[in-house]
Amino acid sequence: MTDQLKSKYKILKEIGQGGFSRVYLGESLKDQKKVAIKVISKTNDLCEMKDIQKEIKIQKQFESPYIVTFYDMYETKKEIVIVMEYVNGGELFDHIVQKGSFTEQEAANIIQQVLIGLKVLHEKKVIHRDLKPENLLLFIDEKGNTTVKIADFGLSGLIDNSEDMKRFCGTEGYAAPEIMKNVPYDWSVDVWSLGVIVYNLVSGYKPFDSDDDYELYEQVVAADYEFFSPEFDCISDECKDFITHMLQAKAKDRYTVEMLLEHPWIKGNAPKVEITDLQSHLREFNAKRKLRRALLAAKSAVKFAAFAGED
């Protein structure tokens, strides 16, 4: 790490890692404010390095309580170091599992915050393109109040870049039909992904799920999902309506972020009753999600080790 970084921040401990990066908890020497420090190892892949630079450029634009804040960037011959806001509550779904009970009203409050964050992105002509549970983080203040923050802009794109709006990217099960079909798209892909998350959040299940890639593709492009019983028996009609307006196969039929913010479920009609059996379903969903992520990280680590061995 650079001397310039060390003159401003103190490294406390490692808190995460991927195939090409490590994340540390740090502290500002100026005011003792906690920060997250992401150290990315450079590769010879020029496209990958270009994407990292684009991610930094995009994230620097935003000042919103609902988006993880970018602070600093440092670069050496071997590394790129990004200093960001430290979000102390971790991943949203982990917090809900640990919490012990959860209501639709709490879900609606969470999704309202994500929608406000998305509105900020879209007003800057930025599309996230990889909304999923692990990219929603939770900040908890001294009084116990919580704020959901959108994180990880590694796959984000600019709406004005026509070539960028054709790029195949995202995470299977969350990517919109038009991305899966490899046709041009717009910011409505974020609405689709958030619709999948809302379905996850109130049921503990994914609306589109199959071990067979083609079957999953067919489910997504046709928006072929159901509100299964008994998982959705206790979920309000307003919530189901909200999800339905997001998970439309045709992008033009989806609600915009502004329309969703005015939906009755968001505006205060969500029930305050605990969602039955959600914790056990979410716990199982979370375990599967983390196992899959660990396997992908292991593959990336092998790839990086092979690359490093070539130097």
Domains and CATH numbers, the chain: 3-86 (3.30.200.20), 92-274 (1.10.510.10)
Residue 34 reports pLDDT greater than 60? yes
pLDDT tens string 227-251: 998 889 999 999 999 999 999 999 9
Look at 77-81, 211-215, 286-290, 293-297 and tell me which has the smallest mean pLDDT: 293-297
CA separation (Å) from 231 to 106, 235, 269, 285? 18, 8, 20, 14
Residue 72 known to be catalytic: no
pLDDT tier for residue 89 given thresholds of 50, 70 and 90: very high
pLDDT tens string 173-183: 999 999 999 99
**Residue from 3, 72, 94, 130 carrying the catalytic annotation:** 130
Residue 308 reports pLDDT greater than 60? no
**Is the previous residue joined to 230 through a cis bond, with omega within 30 degrees of 0?**
yes
Q: Please tell me the predicted confidence (pLDDT) of residue 107.
A: 95
pLDDT tens string 115-152: 999 999 999 999 999 999 999 999 999 998 999 999 99
Q: Please tell me the predicted confidence (pLDDT) of residue 289.
A: 67
Residue 45 reports pLDDT greater than 80? no
CB distance 80 to 52 below 8 Å = yes
* pLDDT > 90 in the chain, percent: 60
CA separation (Å) from 1 to 8, 41, 301? 12, 11, 20
Q: Is 38 annotated as a binding residue?
A: yes
Q: Please tell me the predicted confidence (pLDDT) of residue 106.
A: 94
Residue 303 reports pLDDT greater than 50? no
Rounded to two decimals, the pTM is 0.88
* pLDDT > 70 in the chain, percent: 92
Q: Please tell me the predicted confidence (pLDDT) of residue 261.
A: 98
* Mean of pLDDT over the chain: 88
